[in-house]
Amino acid sequence: MIDLHTHSLFSDGELLPSELIQRARKKGYEAIAITDHVDISNIDFVIKRIARVCKDTNRAYADIKCLCGVEITHVAPVLVAGLVKMSRLLGAQVVVFHGETVVEPVEPGSNKAAILACVDILAHPGRITDEDAALAAKLGVCLEITARAGHNITNGHVAVAAKKAGAKLVFDTDAHAPENLTDDQGREKILLAAGLNMDEIKTVIDNSRELVKKAMADKRKRRKK
């Protein structure tokens, strides 16, 4: 299991990062990104602390890869590019953007702004248009199929738009509590329900694996500088 969108109590998750990681390990996760909600008020605070716990945990355990991430959330479209850049400079290895879900009043134009800023994952982009999906395909931004109740009601729409445009899909839990973490079977059920076949599901998993590889490579590059 690779899950690149989860929350700890550094935003609205229930668990301390170390417990979130431990619960994920015991579920059989091979990689997890902790991606707490950020805007300009807390971005430096959060990244610094999550990076620290990921670094320590990666040293302690060989069976799980922990990645420091963020979920840029409810930031005005015009400000998104600046926060994406800042996230990467501060050390975020996975940059997720809180997309235009149908269950929250995310500002229209946010999906497009996040894609243009080349986030790694556009989370729960429930209102994605064909035009924005095509832009995501062109810029290599992954669109997310989510396990999260509420956001998940548009999984079918996101899958259709991504397939039509040739955009990459990833699966994440958006876990806020231990019971939100899932396993391979849980992931498969949700992806089948979104209308994907087994070959497409394999590609979704490969896309997440690619993001992990890219995040690790970026980290090595930064260390060499």
Note the residues at the interface with Zn ion (CB under 5 A).
71, 98, 123, 174
The H or E element spanning position 81 is helix 77-90
CB 180 within 8 A of CB 170: no
Q: Rounded to the nearest whole angstrom, what is the least distance from the CB of residue 199 to Zn ion in the complex?
A: 28
Residue count (the chain): 225
Q: Rounded to the nearest whole angstrom, what is the least distance from the CB of residue 90 to Zn ion in the complex?
A: 19
Cβ nearer to Zn ion, comparing 123 with 161: 123
| Assigned token pair, 31 | 């990689």
The 10 Å Cβ neighbour count of residue 4 is: 28
Q: How far is CA 176 from CA 31, 48, 78, 132, in A?
A: 17, 20, 28, 28
Cβ nearer to Zn ion, comparing 91 with 125: 125
**Strands across the sheet containing 31-38:** 2-6, 31-38, 65-72, 94-98, 121-123, 142-146, 169-172
Cβ nearer to Zn ion, comparing 54 with 75: 75
Q: Rounded to the nearest whole angstrom, what is the least distance from the CB of residue 133 to Zn ion in the complex?
A: 18
Cβ nearer to Zn ion, comparing 123 with 145: 123
Residue least distant from Zn ion (Cβ): 98
Q: Rounded to the nearest whole angstrom, what is the least distance from the CB of residue 180 to Zn ion in the complex?
A: 10
Q: Rounded to the nearest whole angstrom, what is the least distance from the CB of residue 136 to Zn ion in the complex?
A: 17
Between CA 215 and CA 192 the distance in angstroms is: 27
Cβ nearer to Zn ion, comparing 66 with 123: 123
Helix (H, G, I), strand (E, B) or coil at 90: helix
Cβ nearer to Zn ion, comparing 70 with 194: 70
Q: Rounded to the nearest whole angstrom, what is the least distance from the CB of residue 220 to Zn ion in the complex?
A: 27
Beta bridge partners of 146: 172
